């Protein structure tokens, strides 16, 4: 199947604004085996990855992490 950029899915590079910390971040959503946060590769099964999946540019999502809830605005979705 083809990977699109309409909604966040596996292998997409997602640019987000962390509204809680007011900073931009970029992640590529990958499997747990390929995850490497230092290289910007985020496992799709993490709370942040799960919160982003299926959403579109402009959406604001909330990720429930151990430190609390972090809000992200999706700025861009690319391959």
Provide the token pair at 79. 């391959």
Instruction: Assess contact for 14 and 74: CB atoms under 8 A.
Output: yes
> What is the pLDDT at residue 1?
55
pLDDT at residue 19 in the model: 98
pLDDT of residue 26: 97
Token pair 């990720």: residue: 63
Between CA 33 and CA 74 the distance in angstroms is: 24
* Mean pLDDT, each 10-residue run in order, the chain (79 residues): 87 97 97 96 97 98 96 97
Contact residues for 40 (Cβ-Cβ < 8 A; gap 6+)? 26, 27, 28
């Amino acid at each position: 199947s083809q990977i699109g950029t309409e909604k966040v899915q596996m292998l997409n590079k997602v640019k987000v604004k962390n509204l809680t910390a007011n900073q931009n971040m970029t992640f590529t959503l990958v499997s747990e085996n390929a995850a490497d946060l230092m290289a910007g590769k985020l496992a799709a099964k993490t709370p942040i990855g799960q919160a982003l999946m299926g959403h579109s540019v402009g959406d604001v999502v909330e990720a429930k992490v151990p430190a609390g809830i972090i809000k992200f605005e999706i700025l861009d979705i690319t391959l």
